[in-house]
């Protein structure tokens, strides 16, 4: 598997995990669920960028 395909797949899985966690929290409070999706998405984007999975051209 090419690095670009593998890195895109990794980022997609990380985004799906953040959405699923946000939806699980959103069952109890929609405000906290939406906030957790945003917080996890931003933190995962920073993590993916720092480990080299996402690169800016």
pLDDT of the chain, 57 residues: tens digit per residue: 555 677 778 778 877 887 888 888 888 888 888 888 888 878 877 777 777 765 655
The CA distance from 23 to 51, in Å, is: 26
Q: What is the pLDDT of residue 38?
A: 84
| pLDDT tens sequence across 27-41 | 888 888 888 888 887
Cα distances (angstroms) measured from residue 49 to each of 10, 11, 27, 32, 55? 12, 10, 30, 25, 7
Q: What is the pLDDT of residue 8?
A: 76
């Amino acid at each position: 598997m090419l690095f670009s395909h593998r890195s895109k797949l990794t980022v997609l899985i990380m985004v799906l995990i953040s959405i699923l966690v946000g939806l699980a929290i959103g069952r109890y409070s929609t405000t906290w669920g939406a906030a957790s999706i945003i917080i996890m998405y931003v933190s995962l984007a920073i993590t993916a960028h720092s480990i080299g999975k996402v690169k800016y051209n």
